[in-house]
Amino acid sequence: MRPQPRVLLLTADSRRHRFVAQRLAGALNLVGIVSQNKRGAVDERTVQEEADREVIDKHLRERAEVERRLLGECDFPAVDRFELLQDDINGPRAVNWIEQKAPHFIVLYGTGILRPPLLSMYEGRMVNMHLGLSPYYRGAGTNFWPLVDGVPACVGCTIHLAVQKVDAGAVLAQVRPVPEADDRAHELGIKAIVAGVGALAVSLGRYAQGSLQPAGQDLSIGKVYRRSDFHADAVRRMWSNLDSGMLSRYLANRAADDARWPIRDEGFA
């Protein structure tokens, strides 16, 4: 029987990232973790008014509460870990540590931007778990913006090869969460993470065996968002969409809505 490939995870250090690390450690031959202490989810320069601050604080507080309720207590698994505080994830200390672990594949989830030499060293062997459905939504907050735009069919997770361009690599698999009518944004987001990590484990295994080939993206379509695009009025629009029954309407027409936004669904969720 062929031995499992050695996999190393590059991620951040919040509850959701520790959850994904736990799941991968149970499904793959995880030999190491680089955990990066990242800056906050909000670009503070975009917050001008006290009312906006209250909206954003409520949004983030609800996210933390939902993650605690649905994910529970999560610790990093008992594998070697390199903790990045102020270091650059592309810097020589991190790169040298990764090389010493001799991974066959590197998995990315929630890291900063990867650049050469690290990116080029593992070309074709670096797989990103992107919370969003590429190419429709790429960049930052890409399970948030579909709900702002009123297209819940575009909430999901994309497993793709990492390339220099943001969320643009060839796709191995994509999944959508299964919503309920009373779900809010963060429930959908957690469901996407749970479905995504399952798809990641299976698709990476098949890719390593050569039985799954990546499919290129059509980058002429879709939207790209930056962290600085996030603002309180977008949160208000999302809340309004959810309060007006957006998910009930989606559930009533789910097959047709999903067909408008085709994905590479390999049945891995």
266, pLDDT greater than 80:
no
Please report whether residue 1 resides in a domain: no
Q: What are 44-97's pLDDT values in tens digits?
A: 555 568 889 999 999 999 999 999 999 999 999 999 999 887 668 888 999 999
Please report whether residue 12 resides in a domain: yes
pLDDT at 3: 76
Query: 86 is written with which tokens?
Result: 């102020």
Q: 192 by DSSP, 3-state: which?
A: helix
Q: What are 2-34's pLDDT values in tens digits?
A: 678 999 999 999 999 999 999 999 999 999 999
239, pLDDT greater than 80:
yes
| Structural domain boundaries, residue 34 | 6-260
Q: Order across the sheet with 157-161: list the strands.
A: 81-84, 29-36, 6-12, 105-109, 126-130, 157-161, 171-175
**DSSP letters along 217-236, please?**
--TTSSEEE-GGG--HHHHH
Please report whether residue 126 resides in a domain: yes
Give the domain CATH number at 151.
Answer: 3.40.50.170
Rounded CA-CA distance 90/9 in Å is 14
Please report whether residue 240 resides in a domain: yes
Q: What are 195-212's pLDDT values in tens digits?
A: 999 999 999 999 999 999
Q: Yes or no: say if 203 and 172 are a contact pair by the CB < 8 Å rule.
A: yes
pLDDT at 81: 94
| Sign of the C-alpha dihedral computed for residues 62, 17, 39 and 134 taken in this order | negative
156, pLDDT greater than 90:
yes
Please report whether residue 266 resides in a domain: no
Across the chain, mean pLDDT equals 93
Return the closest-CA partner of residue 7 out of 90, 89, 112, 77.
Answer: 77
pLDDT at 191: 98
Average pLDDT, integer, range 113-126: 91
Average pLDDT, integer, range 97-103: 96
Please report whether residue 239 resides in a domain: yes
Domain count, the chain: 1
Please report whether residue 151 resides in a domain: yes
Please report whether residue 185 resides in a domain: yes
Rounded CA-CA distance 195/189 in Å is 10
pLDDT at 265: 87
